[in-house]
A = this chain, B = another copy of it.
């Protein structure tokens, strides 16, 4: 073929064929899925889970989960700061403010398929009705029910399909039901995401189990991250909240798939207090650091799994920035690199295009001096002193880019501020998922 019109027509035909085949294929499990699969979640004394297929939007798959947390538990949470956050998120924030520094019995109710966001007063009606139903069934105050919804925006939640299933959910509650719950909250995630840890606190072995959903998005309108973590640790609510909040900054708040923030992001944690241990009542308790390290591992693991299931992702990328004037500046630079479409497409193309990293540093708004910047791909020195390093070869850079997991290290040479951000690449599949899904 030499005629440009013919070639263009042929390209269009091939693209149409690919679209048809991709529809036939359906969602594919991410190539970055953890090789170990979904972990065996340990039983957390005081926590039971259930999941049902309620047909909120998806047919024939689990789409509503209920978790029950025993009397005497501490509850903590972190939520999206979006100005258009959903009614369920506002409800969780409200509940948390009222139960600060108290212990109680709680429930978590989550549906997938509909985010109940930007749904006006109908949003509150759905939240109130479902919380009331769970509260009545479990004998707790409706305000002790933490709701969440994930899926399409702006459509009324058919909440009667959920309330009709509450009795069944309660009858199914089971301490071993974690994996079903993790599956029920998936939207277009390509794999369920779980993580566990145990930690020795004095004479007691404390268990932590968590699961998350996020970053797959074919039919729904919004990537939403939901995370639920449970532990049997005996720990007061303010301490739990403080630890959770500060860990969140360096785990879930340190990932980005496409720079777009959901209306519904939500992390909720329950500590049942059933472990045989003296209660942690103070952030200065020496056991906090061990607990925080173990919880941090679980949160980081889940956060990484969300990136590994990023839409269209084929590369898992860690970006470390050191030597910034401040931690805030390091964060700006790391995010500018992680969110740059040009950096992300270069990684997708396995192209060691370090010039685009220079560009991203330059545009970030952080203090930077060209001649003090050092850039490394893994251990390989790429650029320093305002230019490419004499020792760098394109072949070395290309070899790093062929790997599934890539580390980019930037030192700004100015101060002690550092930050790490995890992200994925930007591929044709991302465009297919988000541009073509109505076709």
How many chain copies? 2
Chain B residues positioned under 8 Å from A427 (CB to CB): 431, 435
Query: Is the C-beta of A262 less than 8 angstroms from some C-beta in chain B?
Result: yes
Query: Interface readout for A199-242 with B: 1 if CB under 8 Å, 0 if not?
Result: 00000000000000000000001110000000000000000000
- A118's contact among B14, B341, B386, B438, by CB below 8 Å, is which? B386
- Let me know if A351 and B438 touch, CB within 8 A: yes
- Let me know if A434 and B341 touch, CB within 8 A: yes
Give the distance in Å from the alpha carbon of A258 to the alpha carbon of B431 in the complex. 14
Give the distance in Å from the alpha carbon of A122 to the alpha carbon of B369 in the complex. 17
Q: State which of A22-30, A57-65, A175-183 sits at the interface with chain B.
A: A22-30
- Let me know if B436 and A349 touch, CB within 8 A: yes
- Let me know if A356 and B221 touch, CB within 8 A: yes
Chain B residues positioned under 8 Å from A385 (CB to CB): 120
How many chain A residues touch B (CB < 8 A): the figure is 81
- Let me know if B434 and A346 touch, CB within 8 A: yes
Query: Is the C-beta of A11 less than 8 angstroms from some C-beta in chain B?
Result: yes
A1-48 interface with B by 8 A CB criterion: 1, 4, 7-8, 10-11, 14-15, 17-18, 21-22, 24-25, 28
Query: Interface readout for A114-133 with B: 1 if CB under 8 Å, 0 if not?
Result: 00011111100000000000
Query: Interface readout for A258-301 with B: 1 if CB under 8 Å, 0 if not?
Result: 11111100000000000000000000000000000000000000
- Let me know if B14 and A14 touch, CB within 8 A: yes
Query: Is the C-beta of A363 less than 8 angstroms from some C-beta in chain B?
Result: yes
Chain B residues positioned under 8 Å from A14 (CB to CB): 14, 17-18, 21
A131-174 interface with B by 8 A CB criterion: 152-154
- Let me know if A354 and B25 touch, CB within 8 A: no
Chain B residues positioned under 8 Å from A437 (CB to CB): 349, 351
Q: State which of A78-86, A92-100, A104-112, A185-193 sits at the interface with chain B.
A: A78-86
The smallest C-beta distance from A7 to any residue of chain B, in angstroms, reads 5
Give the distance in Å from the alpha carbon of A355 to the alpha carbon of B355 in the complex. 35
- A383's contact among B118, B122, B386, by CB below 8 Å, is which? B118
Query: Is the C-beta of A360 less than 8 angstroms from some C-beta in chain B?
Result: yes
- Let me know if B354 and A154 touch, CB within 8 A: yes
- A28's contact among B8, B82, B434, B438, by CB below 8 Å, is which? B8
Can you identify 12 A-B contacts, CB atoms within 8 angstroms? A7-B21, A11-B21, A83-B367, A84-B370, A119-B386, A119-B387, A122-B387, A154-B383, A221-B359, A345-B434, A348-B431, A349-B438
Residues of A participating in the B interface, judged by any CB pair closer than 8 Å? 1, 4, 7-8, 10-11, 14-15, 17-18, 21-22, 24-25, 28, 82-85, 117-122, 152-154, 221-223, 258-263, 339-342, 345-346, 348-349, 351, 353-356, 358-364, 366-371, 373, 383, 385-388, 426-428, 430-432, 434-439
Lowest 7 CB-CB distances: which A-B pairs, in order?
A: A153-B355, A84-B362, A349-B435, A82-B362, A120-B387, A261-B363, A345-B434
